[in-house]
Amino acid sequence: MHEWESLSHVKWECKYHVVIVPQVSPKSDLRAMEAGDRAILRELCRQKGIELLDGNLRPDHIHMCLSVPPKFSIAHTIGFLKGKSAVRIHRELLGERRMTGLHFWATGYCVSTVGLDQTKVRQYIRIRRSSRAVKAISI
């Protein structure tokens, strides 16, 4: 049986495959900062209630599978993760102490949804239709 997350009026499963890339510089080799990067990203996800389901740190990019509550847009989520992690990477891993201009990630990101197929969506619609006993409209 499929386990759904829930909020007060929502049953949800919002999973995204995200790829982010550091800017090209001698300091951006992710292999050298592997343990620190992982800890920083996991902590930031925990702060926002985002579940980091899986991840793969490559020398030049990071793949993450995130479960994001529907109250956050994916753009907001990635902006938060990239912005806060850039500051923490500079402070904790690279030893920078300045407060501004701390760029680490390249502009943009790649994202795709990971989710249900059409049969699961139709099954959910049928369940909701029958549980409400409301005259159904076929689409």
Residues with catalytic function: 124
With a CB cutoff of 8 Å and minimum separation 6, the contacts of 100 are none
Cα separation, 60 vs 51, in Å, equals 23
Identity of the residue numbered 107:
T
Cα separation, 47 vs 64, in Å, equals 17
